[in-house]
Each structure stands twice: as structure tokens, then as C-alpha cells.
A and B are shown apart, each in its own frame.
Chain A
Amino acid sequence: MRIKQFIFIFLTSILVLSNYAFQVRQPQGQEYNLKAAFLYRFLDYVEWNNNSSWNNTTEDPLRIAILGESGLYGPLMEISRDKKAGTRTIRVRQINSVSEIGSSQVIFVSRNYKYGIDAVLNRMLDKPALIISEQKGDVEKGSHINFLIADNKLKFEVNLKTAARSGIKIGSQLLQHATLIKK
């Protein structure tokens, strides 16, 4: 029994340490892990317009589309396997074109998507989908939430104006952690 416990603790510590080492050596992976976690938590503080069929309380799964190649896909898939957004299951898709967006409630625009945020905004104008981006200046262009890294920390900006136009309400608890809020 003792030996089993010891082996378990030993293996666990090795796992933890190696995971830590892995994170240090792979800042890219660390960044997307965090982004995935943040994105998942945004879902708690975001309300879609009540009269839309995309209401949070429906039984339908919540669909997230990742536009362009991104390290976010892996970690987000992992989260969607284990967790739910409220009562809804989460479904994550990787797409390469705005035409594939369909009825996704959340669109993450990767920095690898070559047409940039403008293409998405043109397409999704006033439609109730939360648009999240990761390029500097995107929030000014109209992205609802934009990730940025400052002081070696992951932060985010919010554009309340465009979000409201799309029928999306962003909770004040989320806003208090945003570095910039455009109204």
C-alpha cells in the first residue's frame, strides 16, 4: 500500500513537473491554453439576445467556430469534452472560410486567417454571434473581444458598442477585467 502510494505520488510529481517544463518551453501552447480557458469562461458572462434562437438556455449545443489555423483548437476541444456552457454542450469546429460560419454563436478569428477581422465583420454584421479576435487593433475595427498580451500576461479588450449592435450583452464582472472598453 505504502509503495503504491509512493509510486503514485512520484509519478504525479513527474507529470506535474514535466507539464510545467513543457509549458515553459512552449509559450505558444501556454498562450492558447489560457486563451481557451478565458474563452470558455467568457461564456458565463455573455448573454445572447433573448429573442434569438441562440438563447443560452436551449437544449441545442453551443457552437464555436475557429476561423483559420490556430493553436486554440486543441485546448478548446479538450474543454468541450469535459465541460458545458450552463446546460448546453459545447461543439468546436475548425473552419477556413466565413461561409462556413453558419449558426455558430461564437467566432474566434485566428491571427492566421488571412482576410482578417474585416471579412468576418462584413459577413456577420448585426448577427448575434460573439466575435473574438487576437490581433492588435481589431477591437477598434469592431471585434467584440480582442486578446492581447501585455506585461507577459494575457489580457483582453471589449467593444461594447459593436457587441450591443449584435445583440450581445457582456456582463459587468467580465468588463471589470478588460484593459480597454470601447463604448
Chain B
Amino acid sequence: MIGLRDFSIKNKLVLMQVLTCVLVLGLCFAAFVITDINGYKGRKVASTISFAQVIGSNSISAIQFLDNEAAEKTLFDLQEVETDVVNASIVDSRGKIFAAYTRPNQTTHVFKPPFRNRHWFDDQYLYVYKNIVDQQGQIFGTVCLQVELSQLEAIKKQKFEIAFVLLFVGIALAFLIAYLNQRYISAPILNLVNVMKQIRENSDYSRHVDVIGKDEISILSSEFNNLMDEVANSHRKKDEFIGIASHELKTPLTSVKLYLDALSKMKHEPLVHTFILKSKDGVKKLHNLILDLLDVSKIESGQLQLNHKDLSIDDLIDECIQDAQMNIVNHTILREGTKCDKIIHGDRDRLEQVLINLLSNAAKYSPNGTSIAVKTVTSDNDITVSVTDSGIGIAGSEHKKIFGRFYRAKDSNSVISGFGLGLYICSQIIKRHKGKIGVDSQEGKGSTFYFTLPLNGEQKLS
């Protein structure tokens, strides 16, 4: 069952207005119909009583002289005036029927005592008893009438029809007005939601919601804008800090690296040499991490410069495999499929950085001794480069997150180090090449990372 909570505010607003309208109109129409029906009944009673009065005064002499025929003629003649009469009787003062009339093809009704002035309704008929009284106030008998409420059904039907049509029109109008009105409330909310979504997806905290008017939603929007300003501010501060910190760290580290390089070229005892090499290794890792941080800082501040040139994809892949294989000793990197022989326009160093990153990730997350395959697939407009490993794989729910900043695989053990910035930098580089980056993977069944770049020089400098 759908609860009220599952309705959108828009639908709730419309529903609320329509329900209010139905309720108010319903009550009005009920009052209108009831008043009308009661009015009809009242008029009918009044007219029937006067009718009975006329019959009564016309029958006094007939009762006095025991002239049943004259009384019956009176009944018969007068029913032509009041066609709704089904049964009519004149009862004498002792309660005996003196004259009776039944409309043709109708069942005879036997009027029951007490014969005093009264009237009542049943489902179909109105019953009226009216005493026949002369000028001296003597009661001669009673006129009893059973009158069909022929128009009641027609009146009911007509009133219900009018009420129904008006109710329908009312609901339609209410719906229309509610639908037009709700836009003033739900549209700004939906707009706010849209902006939030975009901010979440693009991490673009500088986006603002348009604030129109001074209602609660405007206050909410403007508070949201303020909040986003705060968030953007703190992000900027953080990025500035990362930029400054990594820059400040890089400078002394570069000199350390240079000195270590120089030291390693000198003659040393084997143990010292080993220590120097270990130090160099450590410094290299540190240097790479700082370079990553610097890249992120550049990307965030929009200062990542690309140096676009024409380059051969095959050459790029071959060189990367060669370079990577030097560092990756426990895995075999294979170029699978045919060479594509395509030239693209891009920043060679950055694309190399992407491919090397993908290759080293593949090595990092797959068991030793397995192979890593690099493959290209070309289509009319673009070329896709994929790197496939037979490693631990990535759960489907994580696919989108892994290209975010500081993302670390959940099961990552302490052996696998890094800031979790590699794929983020890769995705930003590919994005700036107007390409796409993605992953196909299942947990435990290896992963295929791929990126697609546009061909034929359609790509422009970004």
C-alpha cells in the first residue's frame, strides 16, 4: 500500500486542495439537496392538506345525507386536479369508509386509524389525514389521501446531477488551481534538489541556487547557498594547504634525491650501497606521492596544463609497457590483439601517467605471477585502451566511487599504500582530453579499466 508519505509534496498539495474542495462542495451540495427535497416535501404537504380541505368541505353535505355516490364523485373529480393522488378515502366520524377512490392500475390502500389531522411519509408516498369540520367545529369525518411523490425522484435526480456536475467542475478547477499553485512551492524545492544533486556529482561547490522571494523555501535556498560557500571555502583552504605543503615538501626532497643520486654513483661498501639504494627507493615513493598531491592541487585550482601534440597510440602503449615492466617484476604485461596504428592529439606525458597508473594498479591488486593484458579497440570516432588483470576485482557498488579523491578499496590491507589519488588524477586527465574512463569488474573475477579518447584531431585543447 502506498502511504501518504510516499507522495511528493507536489501531489500532497494538489491532493490537499482537491480534498478540501470536495469536502466543502460536498457539504454545500448536501445542504442544497436536502433543503430542496425538504422544500418540495413541505410544499407537497401544504398543497395536499389544502386539497384535502377542499374535498372535505365539498363532502360535508354528502356525509350529512349519506350520499356515497356524490362523495365518490367528488373524489373522482378532484383527483383530476391533483394527479398524484393514488388512494383517497372519506371516512365518517365513526371511522367507517364512506367513499373511496383508487387510481386505475394501482393497489388499494386501506387507511388505518386514528383519524385525526396528521401527515407522514413513507418510501414513496405522502399520507395526509384531514378532518372534515363544519363552521360550528363539528367533525363529520376525515379525508385520507395517499399521494405519490412522483416529482421527488425527478427532483432528486436533477439536483444530484447538478450537484455532481458542479462538484466535478469544482474538483477540476481545484485541481487546476492546485496544480498551478504547487509550482510555487514544489518547483523551487525540486530546483534545490537538482542543484544539490549536481553539486554532489560534480563536486562543484561554487554553484548557487537562485533565490526568489522571501518565503521559507527562499530562506532554505539562501541558507543552502551560504552553507555551500562555507564548504567551497574550506575546500579551497584545504587545496591551498595541499598545494603549499606539497610544494614546500618537494623542494628539499628534490635536493635529497639529487644527493642520493650522487652518493649512489660513488664507491661504497656493499652494505652502505644497499642503504643508499633503500633510501633512494623511499625518497622516490615520497616524491611520487608529493607529485600526486601537486597534481591534485593543480587540478583543483584549474592549473593543470596539458601539452597537446600528435602522438601514436601504439608507441605510447609500447613505451609504457616497457617502462612499467621495469618496475613490475612479478607480473607479465602483454600487448594483446592487433596494433591499431592510430594517431591522436594529446599530452603524451599525462597519457603515459594514466596508463602507467592503470598498469601499476593492476599489478598492485592481482596475485604475483599473473599477467596483465593491454588491448586497443578502435571505432570510427574514438579509440579505447583497456588494461585487464585477474586480481581481486571491485564490487559493482564501488565502480563510481573509485574515481573520486582519496578513495581506498575497502579491503585494502596495509601492504597496499598510497593516498588513493591515482585514479582521480587519471579520470581528470582523461576528462581534459574529452575522453571517458571506466571500469568493468566483478568481485574476485579481475578488473578491466579502460579509457576512450576521441580520434581524428577532433579533440581540442582544453
Q: Which residues of A contact B (CB under 8 A)?
A: 34, 37-38, 41, 44-45, 153-154, 156, 173-174, 176-177
CA distance A40 to B70 in the complex (A): 20
Residues of A within 8 A of B62 (CB): 177
* Residue total for B at the interface (Cβ-Cβ under 8 A): 8
CB within 8 Å of A: which of B4-46? Answer: none
CA distance A34 to B66 in the complex (A): 9
On whether the beta carbons of A173 and B61 are closer than 8 Å, the reply is yes
On whether the beta carbons of B64 and A41 are closer than 8 Å, the reply is yes
Q: Is the interface of B mostly helix, strand, loop or mixed?
A: helix
Q: Kindly state whether residue B161 has any CB partner on chain A within 8 Å.
A: no
Q: Kindly state whether residue B67 has any CB partner on chain A within 8 Å.
A: yes
CA distance A148 to B301 in the complex (A): 133
A-B contact pairs, 13 of them (CB 8 A): A34-B66, A37-B64, A41-B61, A41-B65, A44-B64, A156-B65, A173-B60, A173-B61, A176-B61, A176-B70, A177-B62, A177-B67, A177-B70
Contact of B66 among A44, A45, A153, A176 (CB under 8 A): A153
On whether the beta carbons of B61 and A174 are closer than 8 Å, the reply is yes
Residues of A within 8 A of B67 (CB): 176-177
Residues of A within 8 A of B61 (CB): 41, 45, 173-174, 176-177
Least CB separation from B65: chain A residue: A177
CA distance A175 to B355 in the complex (A): 130
CA distance A45 to B135 in the complex (A): 13
Residues of B within 8 A of A156 (CB): 65
CA distance A9 to B12 in the complex (A): 73
Residues of A within 8 A of B70 (CB): 176-177
Extra contacts, 20 of them, besides A154-B66, A176-B61, A177-B62 (Cβ < 8 A), are: A34-B66, A37-B64, A38-B64, A38-B65, A41-B61, A41-B64, A41-B65, A44-B64, A45-B61, A153-B66, A156-B65, A173-B60, A173-B61, A174-B61, A174-B65, A176-B70, A177-B61, A177-B65, A177-B67, A177-B70
A37, A45, A173: most-surrounded residue (chain B CB, <10 A): A173
CA distance A45 to B65 in the complex (A): 12
